[in-house]
Structures are given as C-alpha cells and as structure tokens.
Structure 1
Amino acid sequence: MPPPRRKVLATAEETMFPPDELAPGQEVARVIKATGNNIYSVQFPSKKTALVELPAKFRSTIWMKRGSFVVVDTNALDTRDNKLEGEIVNIVRDEKAWRKAYFWPKEFVKQPVVGSDDEDDSKTGKMPSSDESDA
C-alpha cells in the first residue's frame, strides 16, 4: 500500500531546499550505485566509498540515480555492528540551490560539457572527409 499523499509531499518538500547547516557527522556524497535492498554505495569528497542505508521515509517516495547527491549521517549507525557506514538523511533534488550552500564540497564541481570536432562540423553542415578522419 502506498504511503499517504501528504507524507509523500512533505518528504519531497523537505528535500527541495538545503538546510542552513549540516550537523556534525553529516557529509554530502555522490551516489555511485544501488547495491541491494535500500543500500547504496556512495563516494565522499575525499574519494572514500561507503555503503549507506536509505531510511524508510524515502523508500518508494524519492528516487535516486547514479551521480545524484545525498547527505549522509555517518554517526547514525554507530551502534549497529555491520558493513554500513551511515544513513542517508537527505536527498539533493534542487542541485542548483544546494551548490550555493557554503558546505557544498569543492570536490563536487559541476563538470562543463566539452564539445568535440564532430559537433563543430555538424553546425556548419560540413561533412568530415575521409582524409580528415585518417589524420
């Protein structure tokens, strides 16, 4: 049975805007991949990877894809003895607003899109000749 609509909307709105500051033990991380039942592999700005858990309030409510960003609380699961190193406490949805926050890691800069020579030729309508492609 799906969660009530008001809970879904409240959770979605909670993730839209960045908090004023992150609590001690919380870090922004990039999602690398989903590894199993609500367990995700994330990469911290220090290039360290970790397994983290998605709490029940986000399950079947907010979808994450590879390369998206989350806030991980590394102190949340200290009492449990397992491979998990943290819990996702927030999901970055409006990345543009989050990037303006002072706590956004400098290591997660937005990568510019680099054009190739083929794109330049397509703008002029010129087809690359076989002599140019061999060189």
Structure 2
Amino acid sequence: MKGGRKNLKRAVEAEMMALQQGQNIMQVVDLRGSNLIEVMDAKGQHLLAIFPAKFQKSMWIKRGNFVVVDESGREEAIESGRKVAGILTQVLYHDQVRILQKSSEWPEIFRSSSQESSMQETELY
C-alpha cells in the first residue's frame, strides 16, 4: 500500500475511537521540542510522551489538543528512572472529541476545559 502519509491520515480520520487497554485520553500541555510532548492525564498528573516520526509532517498538534497516549509501560519507566512514560498513538480531531465527550470514556477533568475552548472558538468567528 503506497502513499504513506495520505493513507495514514485517511485511516486516522475514518477510525472510530475505541480505547484499548493501556490507552488514555490526555491533553497536550507543552511541546518540549523534537518529538517530545508534555501531556496531562485524567488525574491531573503531567508526563512526557513521544510523538512518533510517522505522525510528523502529517499531523500537527498544539497546546490544548487532545490525544490518545499508550502508557502501558508507565510504571516500568518511572521505576527505572526514565522521563518518557508514554507513546502518542492518535491525535484527536474536533469531530472525534465531540463524539468522545458524549461517551463514558471522556475524563471528567477535561469536560470543563473542552467546553471553554469550544466557546472561545465560536466567539472568534
């Protein structure tokens, strides 16, 4: 299957979100440079995650965006002293965020922040 970036973006847009074990919805807090991002989980804890090279130049993220992070090796990373504790698996687009907000998988801590950001977007236009 050729057309790497095109097919990657098409697959992400068409994919219905179903969180797998070890995956959590998180909010981007800061972009640390190269491929590191700082995210906040549902408990309010901050951690570093890797933004894989396959997403670079095809998906863009900024502070406040919502992403899905695989943190299945988080405990091992903390115990061994590594700072990076997760891998970004998907960037959530606005439509996907709206669908997830209506489901039970959406964390309560993000309900108010996502509503405030959508209100600000409507005020700008």
Question: TM-score by structure 1 length?
Answer: 0.69
> CA RMSD for the aligned pairs?
2.4
Give the alignment of 1:1-135 within 5 angstroms: 6-16=3-13, 17-19=15-17, 21-75=18-72, 78=76, 82-93=82-93, 94=95, 95-109=97-111, 110-112=114-116, 113=119
Secondary structure of the equivalent of 1:15? helix
Displacement of 1:7 after TM fit? Answer: 1.8
Cα distance in 2 for partners of 1:44, 1:84 equals 14
Displacement of 1:15 after TM fit? Answer: 2.6
1:11-62 deviation digits (Å, cap 9, x = unpaired):
222332442x211111000001110211000001110000000112101110
Secondary structure of the equivalent of 1:105? coil
Displacement of 1:76 after TM fit? Answer: 5.2
- Identical columns (%): 27
Distance 1:54 1:83, change over 3 A: same
Point out the structure with the larger helix share.
Answer: 2
Secondary structure of the equivalent of 1:14? helix
Displacement of 1:105 after TM fit? Answer: 1.3
Which stretch has the larger CA shift, 7-16 or 30-39? 7-16
Cα distance in 2 for partners of 1:18, 1:105 equals 18
Counterpart residue type for residue 83 of structure 1? K
1:85-120 deviation digits (Å, cap 9, x = unpaired):
100011101322332343121221133448xxxxxx
Counterpart residue type for residue 12 of structure 1? K
Cα distance in 2 for partners of 1:73, 1:89 equals 6
Unaligned regions of 5+ residues in structure 2, if any?
121-125
Question: TM-score by structure 2 length?
Answer: 0.74
Counterpart residue type for residue 71 of structure 2? T
